[in-house]
Structure 1
Amino acid sequence: MAALPLADAWAADGDASVPKTGEVVRVATRVLPPFVMDERGKLNGFSIELWERIAERIGVTTEYVVRPNVTELLSTVRDGKADLAISAISITAQREAQFDFSHPMYDSGLAILVQVGAQHQSFMDIVIQWSTQLLPAMGLGFILVMIPAHLIWFIERRGESDLPVHRSYYPGIVLAAYWVATLMGGQADPMPTRRASRVVAVIGIYVGLVFVAYFTAYATSMLTVQQLKSGISSPSDLIGKTVASVEGSTAAKYLATLRVDTLVFPTVAEAIASTESGKTSAVVYDSPVLRYFASHDGRGRMKLAGPTFREEKYGIAFKQNSTLRKRVNEELLRLREDGTYGDMQVRWFGTEDNS
């Protein structure tokens, strides 16, 4: 008796989950450049090319089922409406409990996307941001003006005076405070004739010089630090800001652990649009997706802030106990061994360091 082809032999053994040559495999996916792109109704991208090379080797025909987000993508497989899902799907413990995953098909991680120029703050932004330090300093300056102002008013209000001091408390104290403030700045004129007022004036000059030097150095150091350091360069910088991410993604779950104020959107395009419009300060999502956007559609407008963090691995998701996974894993390994995967890596991402 002639031997049956391998796939047909498996099917003959009663394993209906293994596709026969020419059988249609339903593949759920979602548009997410550069992994999956819709080019005039035809799907393309790294994940699509990878799957089609695998499908060619195992001898099956593909029927794509496009879903808008990762939640619906995985639900399609879980509900039996697709045989597998491929796009940019992170392998997590929670997902592994519900699905079977292939060997990792891409090493990824999370990244932060911000507007170009959004990191530079104006002086007023810095004043507001550092108000907890600046307000006490300004309060101290107010006290240093008002104490000698009261002394000058009390001394000079009696009788004739060369200083612009009124006998009554108001507007006398206002005029005295103005004179003391200009004295500290080195612009006061005229100088008092009474000895007590001169003593107050001399002390006021030295106190004013010290305070002005301190305040100037403090404000300058803050401005310099803010110019040298980006507003957002790591996950810790996201705390206190409103950040965009994608609903159901590992990035959104990670932000929740940091207790970052997060707005989630159905798609990464909507998340990016919220940051471009100023509604959110940054987007946190999969690094290769954000890097591709920053170097293509968002070039000159958006950029990555800081390095990739929280490494993740992408895989192909199958319904549990699908023996199709074994054949896919074999071909994934062969694609790496014969150099095909490396060529694809260079073509789509420009590097061959993804192992």
Structure 2
Amino acid sequence: MKNNITLSHWLAIPALALSLGASSLAFAQDTTLKAVTDPSFVPFEMMDQDSGEMVGFDMDILHEIADRAGFKVDLNTMDFNGIIPAVQTGNVDLAIAGITITDERQEIVDFSDPYYDSGLRILVSDGSDVASLDDLEGKRIATKIGSTSYDYLQEKLGDDAEITPYPGSSDMYMALMGGSADAVFYDAPNVGYFAQTKGQGKVKTVGPLYEGQQYGIAFAKGSEWVEPANKALEAMHEDGTYDEIHEKWFGAAPDAE
């Protein structure tokens, strides 16, 4: 039996494919992903008191990636120690909160390519003689619950120091400013930002950058959005958008200096 396909049928096929492609794109752009962040990790994410919206370096990165990858964001907040479990259990699709990429975390969530190079730093009162991690032996150290800084302190100092994990960044800094802690040990950009703003003239960062780290966006295991996010991030580096966002919050990016 002959295949009775006319010229008009053949012409209709690419038109149909184009229509389906456009429909697929429209569907992708209509996709909304549930996202979560920790509102206390300044200046990566924080609440704008005037607008009531979350702002910060991470927020600018997330929204730019979402625009380029073709999804919308339904953003909520929670304490940092609940973020990875929320992604792992599928309660949210992704999380961005200065999350350090670790082997342990990679076993339960998928990460985007690294989008920020960081490390850990010591913050002390302006008159303190602490100069390095070794000087923290026997001291009262404030850090954050569920953070890699807490794990690092436990590994390096253990029982040789009084290590207190706090639920939020502001709690750590209040402990230092109020005299109930001798030092804060936490992510370098957050510590540095506090020293230059609310803590200016009262606290200082000391010592080297400990345990080089990289931040990534956490996705649920097997998420189809990891690759689009990585492509968007790569394009942001290539066209200078990433450098613009970095300069807005931290000054010139290291590779631009």
State TM-score, norm by structure 1: 0.63
- Residue number in structure 2 paired with 1:286: 187
Higher relative contact order (CA 8 A, sep 6+): 1
Give the C-alpha shift of residue 6 in structure 1: 7.5
* Residues 107 and 354, structure 1, Cα contact 8 Å, conserved in 2: no
Give the 3 Å change call, closer, same or farther, for CA 243–23 of structure 1 in structure 2.
same
Give the C-alpha shift of residue 62 in structure 1: 1.1
Give the C-alpha shift of residue 327 in structure 1: 0.4
Give the C-alpha shift of residue 275 in structure 1: 1.2
- Residue number in structure 2 paired with 1:105: 115
Whole-angstrom distance in 1 between the partners of 2:86 and 2:61: 20
- Residue number in structure 2 paired with 1:189: none
Ranges in structure 1 where 5+ consecutive residues have no aligned partner: 12-18, 120-230
- Residue number in structure 1 paired with 2:78: 67
> Which of residues 34, 41, 45 is equivalent to 1:26?
34
Whole-angstrom distance in 2 between the partners of 1:61 and 1:317: 16
Give the C-alpha shift of residue 278 in structure 1: 1.2
- The DSSP-based 3-state class of the residue aligned with 2:29 is coil
- The DSSP-based 3-state class of the residue aligned with 2:74 is strand
The 5-angstrom pairing of residues 160-309 of structure 1 reads: 231-258=129-156, 259=158, 260-309=161-210
- Residue number in structure 1 paired with 2:46: 37
- The DSSP-based 3-state class of the residue aligned with 1:89 is coil
Ranges in structure 2 where 5+ consecutive residues have no aligned partner: 1-15
Whole-angstrom distance in 1 between the partners of 2:23 and 2:209: 41
CA shift digits 1:258-316 (9 cap, x unpaired):
12320111111111111111111100000000000110111111110122221100000
The 5-angstrom pairing of residues 305-344 of structure 1 reads: 305-344=206-245
- Residue number in structure 2 paired with 1:8: 24
How large is the Cα RMSD of the aligned pairs? 1.8
- Residue number in structure 2 paired with 1:79: 89
The 5-angstrom pairing of residues 139-150 of structure 1 reads: none
State TM-score, norm by structure 2: 0.87
- The DSSP-based 3-state class of the residue aligned with 2:17 is coil
Q: Which has the higher strand share?
A: 2
Give the 3 Å change call, closer, same or farther, for CA 328–297 of structure 1 in structure 2.
same
CA shift digits 1:19-67 (9 cap, x unpaired):
7212211111111111011002111111000110111112222110101
Give the 3 Å change call, closer, same or farther, for CA 284–102 of structure 1 in structure 2.
same
Q: Which has the higher helix share?
A: 1
Whole-angstrom distance in 1 between the partners of 2:48 and 2:38: 13
* Residues 110 and 310, structure 1, Cα contact 8 Å, conserved in 2: yes
Whole-angstrom distance in 1 between the partners of 2:217 and 2:255: 16
Give the 3 Å change call, closer, same or farther, for CA 7–43 of structure 1 in structure 2.
farther
- Residue number in structure 2 paired with 1:154: none
CA shift digits 1:214-259 (9 cap, x unpaired):
xxxxxxxxxxxxxxxxx21111111111111001100000000112
Whole-angstrom distance in 2 between the partners of 1:251 and 1:340: 30
Give the 3 Å change call, closer, same or farther, for CA 237–52 of structure 1 in structure 2.
same
1:238 alignment partner AA: L
The 5-angstrom pairing of residues 146-161 of structure 1 reads: none
Give the C-alpha shift of residue 354 in structure 1: 5.8
Whole-angstrom distance in 1 between the partners of 2:135 and 2:234: 39
* Residues 28 and 73, structure 1, Cα contact 8 Å, conserved in 2: yes
Whole-angstrom distance in 2 between the partners of 1:5 and 1:297: 51
Whole-angstrom distance in 2 between the partners of 1:85 and 1:261: 31
CA shift digits 1:87-131 (9 cap, x unpaired):
2000111111111100001000000011112x2xxxxxxxxxxxx
* Residues 100 and 320, structure 1, Cα contact 8 Å, conserved in 2: yes
Whole-angstrom distance in 2 between the partners of 1:354 and 1:303: 25
Whole-angstrom distance in 1 between the partners of 2:97 and 2:112: 13
2:44 alignment partner AA: F
2:92 alignment partner AA: A
| Structure (1 or 2) with the larger CA radius of gyration | 1
Residue identity (%) = 34
Whole-angstrom distance in 2 between the partners of 1:58 and 1:263: 40
